[in-house]
DNA sequence: CGAACACTTGACAGCCCTCAACGTGAGTGG
DNA sequence: CCACTCACGTTGAGGGCTGTCAAGTGTTCG
């Protein structure tokens, strides 16, 4: 359901947060190349919360960059249980794990209002042969997704996991210009718990304790990190891995 | 330390297990192309157990396919604790996670006698622009590595983890022609435990119980899966994810 | 032959999950 | 405007899995 937003994507004025445009512009791609890249982009959205962006098992044909909002990726096992794989913020790319089998291995769902830039992967591949910078960018995007399951692996305590989760989320949001230490979660506790391999009740309890110890202030899904340093210390084992 | 083995890698008779040669041959690459691919390969080894193949933090310049033996990848955190990321068998590719930052994010160590095919990544990238099949193969290799942290994520019991680990290992070995249900582990219990996020003692206990229930026979690092079906059932939550 | 190492086995404690009940907003329909 | 509903979140009690600590056994290697 493509729907062009008014404030971006016009002609040669490409999304400023788009990982691909950044890569190409940095390499001095000429206007013709940029136009080609732009042609194979669909600007999608805004999609309301709950929208299915791509579905587990569906044929893979495109990747997408999040432009605004938050996307959750999750897979369902045969027993119907959900396993949350990650949350994806503006500037981050989803769908790369579908390349291998030419099927998406997971669902991608908008958890608030989401805008995307959708790239046909076959077209992107062809273009990447002519644009070394684009090829390199694709390789790097893929590579950086490999080691990103750090919060889950290893034997970490609930405190470590949640502290690291909050710090990393804060950093990711801050690098996009959001006010640091001031985050509003788009996802419910159950999703965070699932992602971190914990029970929702544990999230509540740890958050409570963090608040009692003046490290965060919590009101529903709005959080303020009042002592990010201590959170970093607690999550150090994960953060400094 | 390149050292040419005698039984393979001769002229146009390329490694039969090599993921790259398979991809190119399947696409009908001509002899000239194959020769080019071959030129940028170093046949390395045999390396004795304990050899460091690449080191965490070192500049990234190449990926490698395991030709024989077993490779362990692991990273050390600031406190010096080791986190085992994976074990890599013949036919599998290591080093891909180094592309993103142009540094290897982990160590790769030979845990028994290992032979490798080493590919200069810059050269491979250039060649991939002319060989669509090679580019596709690279994208797929990278993509398939993204979701491979399945045993660690999620909340799984020690039984589920170890059962899934044994089944997956057995399958990977069998697909390379090893006798099914008959595996000799190259790695010590501590590495398996570390990889699975468990204590070494837990590995012992679970293995003991599996043996008491006639699912495996254990003698040191030689295992026989006497009831692979039941192991698959126990590990189903992970295997069927 | 001794030492180092890997592995096993046992006892105990701790973390976190499960189960259960309650509180609290947000959206809805009267 | 208000009561209702429902999902989400919180809090408490209890128990199970698995980590930690400790000691013992077997094997390999110098």
DSSP assignment of B40-61: TEEEEEEEPTT-EEE-TTSBP-
Assess B105–A contact: CB distance below 8 Å, yes or no.
yes
Instruction: Among A41-45, B149-153, B207-211, name the one with the lowest average pLDDT.
Output: B149-153
CA distance, residue A5 to nearest chain B CA (Å): 31
> Å from B180 to nearest chain A CA?
25
Neighbours of A16 (CB within 10 A): 11
Nearest to A154 among B83, B138, B145 (CB): B83
B80: contact with A, CB 8 A cutoff:
no
Distances (CA, A) of A45 to A1, A11, A113: 7, 18, 8
- Place B180 in a pLDDT band, splitting at 50, 70 and 90: confident
Please check whether strand D approaches the CB of A188 to within 7 Å.
Answer: yes
Q: Is the bond preceding residue B46 a cis peptide, omega within 30 degrees?
A: yes
Question: Closest Cα of chain A to B203: distance in Å?
Answer: 15
Mean pLDDT of B211-225: 93
Higher model confidence: residue A82 or residue B12?
Answer: A82
pTM, full prediction: 0.87
Contact of A200 with chain B, judged by CB distance below 8 Å, is answered with no
Of the residues A146, A161, A233, A234, the best mutation for testing chain B's interface (the one with the most B CB atoms within 10 Å of its CB) is A146
The answer to whether A107 and A75 are in contact (CB under 8 A) is yes
Q: What positions of strand D are covered by protein, i.e. any atom < 7 Å from a CB?
A: 7-13, 17-22, 27
> With pLDDT > 90 as the criterion, what percentage of chain B qualifies?
63
- Parts of chain A with a pLDDT under 50: 1-12
State whether residue A39 is helix, strand or coil.
Answer: helix
Strand partners, A2: A44
CA angle A81–A85–A91, rounded 5-degree value: 145
User: Cα torsion for B158, B163, B166, B167, to the nearest 10°?
Assistant: -150
Please report the pLDDT score of residue A10 as a whole number: 47
Q: What is the pLDDT of residue A164?
A: 95
Task: Name the pLDDT band for B30 (thresholds 50, 70, 90).
Answer: low
CB–CB contact B125 A138 (8 Å): no
- Cα gap A2→A92, rounded to integer Å: 19
pLDDT tens-place string over residues B54-106: 999 999 999 999 989 999 999 988 878 889 999 999 999 999 999 999 999 99
Give B202-209's long-range contacts (Cβ < 8 A, gap of 24+): B202/B158, B203/B158, B203/B162, B206/B158, B206/B159, B206/B162, B207/B162
Q: What is the mean pLDDT of residues B135-151?
A: 87
Distance CA A67, CA A11 (A): 17
Q: How confident is the model over B105-123, as pLDDT tens digits?
A: 999 999 999 999 999 999 9
* Model pLDDT, residue B195: 93
Cβ contacts of B105 on chain A, cutoff 8 Å: 147
Q: What is the model's pLDDT at position B9? A: 44
Neighbour count for residue A28 (Cβ, 10 Å): 8
Q: Is the CB of B41 under 7 A from strand D?
A: no
pLDDT on residue A28: 55
Residue B47: exposed, middle, or buried by beta-carbon count in 10 A (0-12, 13-18, 19+)? buried
> Mean of the pLDDT values across residues B210-226?
93
Q: Read off the pLDDT of each residue in B178-195 and give the average, rounded to a whole number.
A: 92
Contact A47, A114 (CB under 8 A): yes
Of all residues in chain A, the percent with pLDDT exceeding 70 is 86
pLDDT at B112: 93
B201 CA to C9 C1' in angstroms comes to 9
Q: Which nucleotides of C are covered by protein (CB under 7 A)?
A: 6-11, 15-20, 25-26
């Amino acid at each position: 359901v493509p729907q062009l937003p008014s404030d971006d994507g016009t002609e040669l004025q490409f999304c400023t947060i788009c990982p691909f445009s950044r890569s190409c512009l940095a390499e001095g791609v000429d206007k013709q190349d940029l136009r080609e890249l732009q042609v194979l982009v669909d600007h999608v959205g805004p999609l309301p919360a709950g929208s299915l962006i791509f579905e587990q098992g569906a044929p893979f044909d495109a990747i997408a960059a999040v432009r605004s909002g938050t996307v959750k990726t999750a897979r369902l096992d045969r027993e119907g249980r959900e396993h949350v794989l990650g949350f994806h913020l503006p500037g981050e790319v989803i769908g790369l794990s579908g390349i291998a089998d030419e099927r998406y291995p997971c669902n991608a769902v908008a958890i608030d209002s989401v805008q995307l830039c959708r790239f046909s992967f076959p077209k992107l591949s062809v273009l990447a042969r002519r644009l070394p910078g684009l090829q390199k960018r694709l390789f790097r995007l893929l590579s950086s997704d490999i080691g990103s399951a750090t919060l889950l692996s290893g034997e970490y305590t609930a405190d470590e996991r949640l502290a690291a989760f909050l710090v990393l989320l804060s950093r990711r949001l801050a690098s996009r210009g959001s006010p640091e230490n001031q985050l509003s979660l788009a996802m419910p506790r159950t999703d965070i718990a699932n992602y971190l391999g914990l029970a929702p009740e544990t999230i509540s309890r740890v958050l409570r304790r963090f608040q009692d110890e003046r490290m965060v202030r919590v009101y529903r899904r709005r959080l303020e990190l009042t002592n990010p340093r201590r959170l970093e210390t607690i999550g150090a084992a994960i953060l400094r891995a």
